[in-house]
Amino acid sequence: MSAKTTITSTADLKKLAMDFVSVSQGAAVASYPWVGKGNKIEADGAGTEAMRQAMNEIDMLGVVVIGEGEMDEAPMLYIGEELGTGNGPHIDIAVDPVEGTTLMSTGQENSLTVIACAPRGSLLHAPDMYMKKMAVGPKAKGCIDIDASLTDNMMAVAKAMNKDVTELTVMIQNRERHEGLINEVLALGASIRLFPDVDISGAVATAIDEIQVDMLVGTGGAPEGVITAVALKCLGGDFQAKLVPQDEAEIKRCLEMGITEPEKKLTMDELVRSDECFFVATGITEGLLVKGIEKRENGLLQSESFVAIGGDVKTYQYIKSHHLASGEMK
């Protein structure tokens, strides 16, 4: 393939997205043997290495702009790492080979592999730190303001969705720091849906009617926030965020990475500055968004992946595949 500097067509975008579905599947299958084994470092390492090898076979020049987390001691696809053959589109990659490492290492639900891609220079280049987030689906697009109160946002979302506020369901990570948000939702008579980890699934769920989640709010990781913004852009939803530096060192790191106002409101278009993007997730353990890896009677492993494609495509689909235990497609 001749070298290109960007994604030039809908066909390119769809092909690249499907290439990354295979990458995501391979990482999930490689991590699967470590489910419930109590060793999240080994699990993360297996997924990371499988992902790195697969991405290096794709015709692209990809750069990891936000990864598993600079603060992790786990092996990682590090920020600034170049991947691919060097031919093809130049793209930004935001990735987590095993999102929810603690969940999968202890045999709990909702661990998955996630990848988000967009043309070079499109994704927010941010350090691994806390980020305040608010996510909604397509019906409430344009109705949220992270600088306003949760009550005001819930009222606006309810109006946009033609619901009473008491009919809303709000996903919130079960953390002490979210006690005020939880109480505010309950005070309005709405429903909460708490989860232990992996806010990407809950945010994406706001755009999937069958899951019946209206909003996600709370503070979590910035890498997950960028990945979520890509997914919701593809799905027609909305997402806003604010970085939450914990100390002067984190503010300095933001400035070094070109973020001149570390605590300003970030809209979805500021987090993802292109519509030519896509999001891929493959389940490792059973989850809200995708099913986990299952071993079939014939010895093959069955995976379920979710892929959302932006641009002119604006579509999503679920893909079930079967693999040899080594991760090779059958």
Say whether 179 counts as a known binding-site residue. no
Residue 221 annotated as lining a ligand binding site:
yes
Strands 169-173 and 215-221: parallel
User: Would the annotation count 32 as a binding residue?
Assistant: no
Tell whether 44 is in a known binding site.
yes
Q: Known binder of ligand: residue 310?
A: no
**Is residue 130 marked as binding?**
yes
Residue 327 annotated as part of some ligand binding site: no
Query: Was 197 annotated as part of a binding site?
Result: yes
- The 10 Å Cβ neighbour count of residue 298 is 7
User: What tokens does 222 get?
Assistant: 């910035």
Residue 211 is classified by DSSP as G
Distance in angstroms (rounded) separating the CA atoms of residues 213 and 7: 33
Cα–Cα dist 202/216, whole Å: 6
Residue 316 assigned ligand-binding role = no
Q: DSSP for 260-325, please give it.
A: SSTTS-EEHHHHB--S--EEEEEESS--SSSPPPEE-TTSPEEEEEEEEE-TTT-EEEEEEEEE-T
Give the span between the Cα atoms of 18 and 26, in whole angstroms. Answer: 13
Coil, helix or strand at residue 193? strand
Binding residues for substrate: 99-101, 130, 175-177, 197-199, 221
Binding residues for Mn(2+): 44, 68, 96, 99, 224
Binding residues: 44, 68, 96, 99-101, 130, 175-177, 197-199, 221, 224
